[in-house]
Amino acid sequence: MRDLEKLYELISRLKEVKRTGWLERGLQTPESVADHSFAVTALSIILADIKGLDVAEVARMAILHDLPEAVTGDLTPNQKKEKMGELKQLEEDIVKSIIQYLPFETGQKYLEAWRKLDENSCQEARLVKLIDKLEMGLQAAEYVKKTKNKKLLEIYQSAIESVKEDPELINILERAIKE
């Protein structure tokens, strides 16, 4: 546990990493990756509980889902496509370096959660990935209403497309843009 401050240093870097998609569309003070990650984690945990999924596993996945961005920065989908092969390995290497600060058994749980999330291999992983897109869409709707910046609708539409398999989430996004 004495390495907890090293883990904290890495986690806290996410407070300084601004979300690139918002910056590219002209927002002067967008949310940080930490802001986004907190919302994804909170929503994921609550929905996992409602749906009867493994809340602890969902929490681990949600906490980890953007943690490599403390090192890589926030990459847009296009940037991720360009670096697909190397990025996947880099992100796993970053997660492996993070778990070295944890007791071995705990670290292995987090590494396994990362791998399941990366492979989208269980209901918990699918939920976290959907909530990641839902949160992005909800944030886009909020920014559109606040700024009237129509460029942000691209991100909102991307979120709609990403959650199309879940009618409840589409309803949430549709209500959010109307209210």
Distance of CA 57 to the CA centre of its chain: 15
pLDDT digits 0-9 by tens, 96-115: 998 888 899 999 999 999 99
Determine which of 84-88, 119-123, 171-175 has the lowest per-residue pLDDT on average: 84-88
Cα separation, 157 vs 144, in Å, equals 12
Fold of 4-178: Hypothetical protein af1432 (1.10.3210)
User: For residue 14, what pLDDT is reported?
Assistant: 95
User: For residue 88, what pLDDT is reported?
Assistant: 85
- Using CB atoms within 10 Å of the CB of residue 10, give its burial: 0 to 12 exposed, 13 to 18 middle, 19+ buried: middle
DSSP secondary structure letters along 33-64: HHHHHHHHHHHHHHHHHHHT--HHHHHHHHHH
Total-model pTM: 0.93
Cα separation, 103 vs 156, in Å, equals 40
pLDDT digits 0-9 by tens, 13-67: 999 999 999 999 999 999 999 999 999 999 999 999 999 999 999 999 999 999 9
Determine which of 40-54, 71-85, 126-140, 152-166 has the lowest per-residue pLDDT on average: 71-85
